[in-house]
Amino acid sequence: MLTVNNVTYQIGQTKLLKDISFSIKPGEMVAILGANGAGKSTLLKILSGTNKPESGSVSLHGRALNTYTQLELAHQRTVLTQQNVVSLPFLVKEIVMMGRYPHYQHSPAAKDFQIAQTAMEATGVQTFAERSYPTLSGGEQQRVQLARALAQVWEQPHALLLMDEPVAGMDILYQQQTLAILRSMAQKKFIVVSVLHDMNLAAQYADRIIMMKRGRKWYDGTPAEVLNPKSVYEIFEIEADVFTNPSTLKQIIMPHEITFEQNKTSLKL
């Protein structure tokens, strides 16, 4: 269980997170939505233990996050960040093996190679395992980073998967496949938290959506509970229709087109 209690975080005089509370059970797939600058990545950094809250607390499996050693944390949670710049010519398989570093001391065991291989197969990157990572396209690099992150906790059900825009730069097939992988990890009792910009993907794959605005948790519920024209307008300041797909019963969000006249006004052209 991941438990967040009254978390507040500030830098200087600016409060980036305000009084955030929620808990997430193993097996839940949660999407975090919100406009640019709402505080989604900042929240993920608090959940990963990278940043410490100003007040409030975060606990994982009943233990305060700040009592975990770095090694213990590496066994219990994995993070996919937005910045994954690797300029040295590491091979793809070496990047994925980096996910196994916390699990061995001197040299990897057969099990580590096997898990890295499985993670590469799950993310569809095994075909370029021998390629130099910097030569891959942006979407391919993102899939390799996902394989690395999954390899880190592959055999640790109940571990926390923190994914900051996991489908950024991916084509539509890999977006769907990536979220399907994350959902299957949730079904294996991992705790999956993903920041997403695509509300339709969140509606398709998440069990639950947390919507953030100006550093606060604004809505928290199932896609059917929280996705409607009013909430979409409140969070993103855009008019949208929200339909229910009759065959899947999932929500479909269709933003209204912004006219040149509206844009002219908002951009003061």
Ligand X SMILES: Nc1ncnc2c1ncn2[C@@H]1O[C@H](COP(=O)(O)OP(=O)(O)OP(=O)(O)O)[C@@H](O)[C@H]1O
- In the list 7, 9, 24, 40, the residue contacting ligand X (rule: CB under 6 A) is 40
**Identity of the residue, 38 or 160, whose beta carbon is nearer to ligand X in the bound complex:** 38
**Identity of the residue, 36 or 70, whose beta carbon is nearer to ligand X in the bound complex:** 36
- In the list 3, 41, 84, 132, the residue contacting ligand X (rule: CB under 6 A) is 41
The stretch near ligand X (CB under 6 A) out of 10-18, 98-106, 113-121, 150-158 is: 10-18
* 39 near ligand X, rule: CB under 6 A: yes
- In the list 4, 31, 33, 38, the residue contacting ligand X (rule: CB under 6 A) is 38
* 11 near ligand X, rule: CB under 6 A: yes
- Give every CB contact of residue 146 below 8 A, 6+ residues apart in sequence: 80, 123, 163, 166, 178, 181
- In the list 37, 134, 138, 221, the residue contacting ligand X (rule: CB under 6 A) is 37
**Identity of the residue, 99 or 166, whose beta carbon is nearer to ligand X in the bound complex:** 166
The stretch near ligand X (CB under 6 A) out of 35-43, 71-79, 89-97, 110-118 is: 35-43
Total binding residues for ligand X by CB under 6 A?
Answer: 11
Start-to-end Cα distance in the chain: 50
**Cα–Cα distance between 232 and 247 in angstroms, integer?**
23
By the criterion CB under 6 A, which residues form the site for ligand X? 11, 14, 16, 34, 36-42
